[in-house]
A and B are shown apart, each in its own frame.
Chain A
Amino acid sequence: MRIAVIGCGAVGSLFAANLGTLDDVEVWAYDPWQEHVDAINANGLRLSGAGDVVGKVHATADPAALPPAELGIVATKSQHTSEALAATAHAFEHGAVCSVQNGAGNEELVAEHVRQVIRGTTFPAGHVIERGHVGWDTKGDTHIGPFEPSPAPMAAVEALAAACTRAGMPTHALADARGAQWRKLIFNAASNAIAALTGRTHGQVAEPPTRELAWAVMAEGRAVADAQGITLDMSPEELFDHAARRDVAYGHKPSMLQDVEAGRETEIDFLNGAIVAFGERYGVDAPLNRALTELIKGKESA
């Protein structure tokens, strides 16, 4: 079986390197960073931290070089999804492609280029240490399921879940993965945008004076999920408090805060912006998420 990972940053590398330890899976990775690609091809893709792994991965910075694959995993930043899929869709003419990106709205973009699409949400996190080497910060589960408007067959979903799980990335194949995705989206939208605007860590966001705001932002997200008939698989509020514990992730700087500190574009359109957009589609107003979206976009332009 051949699996191609599109976007081999931190999260993409966690999948690619772990899958690259399996004898019966041929792993390819597309990433525009040429030095990273060269290092992976020369020495394998290395993970350290929560797990020490060196995976065999065929990496390329040339999307045309990707061979046809049965399965794909998209792990680019959300704002690069369309561009990356336009360049790599040829490899998935007969394959199924799974987004493991943040937020909501990525599968819709994947489906513009690929017929069989899998909805996904992943918890594990990492950071790039140097070319060919990624730090594995957090282990955790991944939930995947057919993307309803353009679904991959359940057999493909199960095949991907089985391979990832065997490789050390526990992955659950679900008929409906929306509950997992929206639970994480609601959590992330509150934590990321408030942290990015205030400079606070996740644990600090969970404290006054922003705690009530975070809860109000999550309540809007819940209302938008409800309107779509989505049943959340876990309580985002409980996860928020759990992550805020000093022994879990109190001092963690959410990625959007890291992005604004580094002057990079954020994933706001796929987080709070997605809650607003899905809310509009289903007749639910989300004024606080809209305010946060506009403030972050203002900050991006500053």
Chain B
Amino acid sequence: MAIQRVCVVGGGVIGSLYAGHLARDVEVSVLTRRPEHAAALSADGLRISGKSDFTARVHATADAADLPDFDLGIIATKATQLEAAAAGLDGRFPGATLMTIQNGLGAEELVRGHGDWPLLSAVTFMSGVRHADTHVEYELDTETWLGPFAGTATYDQAQEVEALLAASGLHARAFPDLRPAQWSKLIFNATVNTVAALTDLPHVGAFAARTQDADLGHLVHDLMDEGKAVAAAVGVELHEDPWEMNVHAVRRGETLAAEGHYAHVPSMLEDVRGGRPTEIDFITGALVGEAARHGVPVPLHTAMYRLVKARESA
């Protein structure tokens, strides 16, 4: 299968980064939530600045019924909007392969409920800043990791998408089994996002500090230990140690800060600041659910889950 046509579902930062880069090589359609967003993209194109610099032509619509046929669908909505997005594709595009990129766990099963497309699981460490509907700044040019989901797609297909993304100027890596990477990121996210959302701190050095008794790094470390115990009970060998991911990200953030950039604001903190629902159910909720299924106590993640849920509704 040669991938000629890509549909990106979701016009947020991550969706825009995929759509913009891929549109330089293949035909790209974008499904947005707001009609005015789609109209602006179709009229003006999509500008990517920062780590890349170009403007790409895309075909955008806010109505899933108007989507042209595609070979690869990248589902890049927030986890909280995934159900609505998948419902729009229900039973259509039988020849397509879909790739889910949501934080947390459970996106693949949810999409599976709307059609029997071959699925690729993916996680991404890219980040960007949205300046306008038609302009996204590419901030961290880190990798997208992808792999076949539960035997529905093949490793060959994952490698084909890896090659497509790489040719477009993005960084990607295909794995025969994504779960080790997915769980590393799940534990990292369940910890860093909730701590940030409750303390109002961006991902700064305090997350790795463990010199004083009441330093935040102790809590971060304890939360990650709980997460690692769940992964072990599930039978997943982690791709990367989440604590080392944390230390590494904080150091990179400090280097960037020294160059005058702002520290990274985790998406859950952005959501809380914006008064939007967070992805807590898909991230910490999923982790706590897996823990319960395997009989692993996770009192700290349970506490974080309740605190973030309460903060959302306050």
Among the stretches B61-69, B97-105, B302-310, the one at the interface with A is B302-310
Judging by beta carbons under 8 Å apart, are B310 and A294 in contact?
no
- Provide the A272-302 mask, 1 if CB < 8 A to any CB of B, else 0: 0100000000000001101101110111011
- Interface residue? A198 (CB, 8 A): yes
Whether B201 pairs with A299 at a CB distance below 8 angstroms is yes
Please, which residue of chain B has its CB at the minimum distance from the CB of A288?
B303
Q: Taking the nearest CB of chain B, how far is it from the CB of A57, in angstroms?
A: 38
Residues of A within 8 Å of B238, CB to CB, are none
The CA-CA distance from A86 to B215 in the complex, in Å, is 28
Q: Which residues of chain A are near B216, meaning CB under 8 Å?
A: 294-295, 297-298
Indicate whether A102 reaches chain B with its CB closer than 8 angstroms: no
Instruction: Using known A-B contacts A210-B306, A291-B303, A298-B206, determine if residue A198 contacts B311 with beta carbons closer than 8 Å.
Output: yes
Number of interface residues of B (CB under 8 A): 24
B314 touches A294 (CB 8 A): no
Instruction: Decide if A213 is an interface residue (CB 8 Å cutoff).
Output: yes
Q: Are B307 and A197 in contact (CB under 8 A)?
A: yes
CB distance from B46 to the nearest CB of A (A): 34
- A159 shortest CB reach to chain B, Å: 39
Is there an interface contact between A210 and B222, defined as CB atoms closer than 8 Å?
no
- Residues of chain A contacted by B306 (CB below 8 angstroms): 209-210, 212-213
Within 8 A of A (CB), among B173-202: 195, 198-201
Contact status B311-A197, CB under 8 Å: yes
Nearest-neighbor residue (CB-CB) of B220 within chain A? A294
Q: A213-B303, A299-B199 are in contact. Are A198 and B314 (CB under 8 A)?
A: yes
B214 A200 Cβ-Cβ under 8 A: no
Question: Known contacts A299-B198, A299-B201, A302-B200; is A194 also within 8 Å of B307 by CB?
Answer: yes
Minimal Cβ-Cβ distance residue in B for A196? B198
The smallest beta-carbon distance between B37 and chain A, in angstroms, is 31
* Distance of A143 Cα from B300 Cα, bound (Å): 35
A171 interface residue, CB < 8 Å from B?
no
CB distance from B246 to the nearest CB of A (A): 14
Q: Is the interface of A mostly helix, strand, loop or mixed?
A: helix
> In B280-314, which residues have CB < 8 Å from any A CB?
299-300, 302-307, 309-311, 314
CB of B202, distance to nearest CB on chain A (Å)? 8
B214-246 CB mask vs A (1 if < 8 Å, else 0) is 111011001000000000000000000000000
Which residues of A sit under 8 angstroms from B218, Cβ to Cβ?
A: 290, 294
A162 close to B (CB within 8 Å): no
A299 CA / B206 CA spacing, docked (Å): 11
B195 and A298: CB pair below 8 A?
Answer: yes
Interface string of A174-201 (1 = CB under 8 A from B): 0000000000000000000010011110
Asked if A204 is at the interface (CB within 8 A of a chain B CB), the reply is yes
Q: How far is the CB of A213 from chain B (nearest CB, A)?
A: 5
Shortest Cβ distance from B176 into chain A, in angstroms? 37
Instruction: Quote the shortest CB–CB distance from A175 to chain B (angstroms).
Output: 33
A200 to B308, CA, bound (A): 11
Question: What is the minimal beta-carbon distance from A264 to any residue of chain B, in angstroms?
Answer: 15
The 8 Å CB contact of A288, one of B195, B214, B299, B314, is B299
Say whether A291 contacts B314, CB under 8 Å: no
Q: How far is the CB of A224 from chain B (nearest CB, A)?
A: 16
Which of B299, B302, B305, B310 has the most chain A CB atoms closer than 10 A to its own CB?
Answer: B310
Interface mask (A200-214 → B, CB under 8 Å = 1, otherwise 0): 100011000110110
Closest CB of chain B to A215's CB: distance in Å?
Answer: 11
Nearest chain A residue, comparing its CB with the CB of B305: A209
B270 to chain A, nearest CB (A): 14
Q: Is A111 located at the chain interface by the 8 A CB criterion? A: no
Contact among B201, B304, B311 for A298, CB-based, below 8 A: B201
Q: Which residues of B contact A194 (CB under 8 A)?
A: 307, 310
Give the distance in Å from the alpha carbon of A198 to the alpha carbon of B299 in the complex: 18
CB distance from A137 to the nearest CB of B (A): 22
**Residue contact A199 to B214, C-beta cutoff 8 Å:** no
With the chains together, A287 CA to B219 CA distance in Å? 9
Question: What residues of A have a CB within 8 angstroms of the CB of B199 in the complex?
Answer: 295, 298-299, 301-302
CB–CB A294/B219 < 8 A: yes
- Is residue A216 contacting chain B, with contact meaning CB distance below 8 A? yes
In the complex, which residue of chain A has the Cβ closest to the Cβ of B310? A198
How far is B299's CA from A287's CA once the two chains are assembled, in angstroms? 9
A273 to B215 alpha-carbon distance, docked (Å) = 12
Interface pair A301/B206, CB less than 8 Å apart: yes
Question: Complex Cα distance A223/B195, Å?
Answer: 26
Instruction: With a 10 A CB-CB cut-off, give which of B201, B214, B215 has the most chain A CB atoms.
Output: B214
Other-chain contact of B310, A204, A288, A291, A297 (Cβ < 8 Å): A204
Residue of B nearest to A292 (CB): B303
Annotate B262-294 by CB proximity to A: 1 below 8 A, 0 otherwise. 000000000000000000000000000000000
Say whether, besides A209-B309, A212-B306, A293 and B222 are in contact (CB < 8 Å). no
Can you give 16 A-B contacts (C-beta < 8 A)? A197-B311, A198-B311, A199-B314, A200-B310, A287-B300, A290-B218, A291-B219, A291-B222, A293-B214, A294-B216, A297-B214, A298-B199, A298-B216, A299-B199, A301-B201, A301-B206
Report, nearest first, the 6 A-B pairs whose CB atoms are least far apart: A298-B199, A199-B314, A198-B310, A302-B200, A209-B306, A294-B219
Chain B residues near A (Cβ < 8 Å): 195, 198-201, 206, 214-216, 218-219, 222, 299-300, 302-307, 309-311, 314
Given contacts A295-B216, A298-B195, A298-B198, 18 further A-B contacts (CB under 8 A): A199-B311, A209-B306, A209-B309, A209-B310, A210-B310, A269-B214, A273-B214, A287-B299, A291-B304, A293-B214, A294-B216, A294-B218, A295-B199, A295-B219, A297-B216, A298-B199, A301-B199, A302-B200
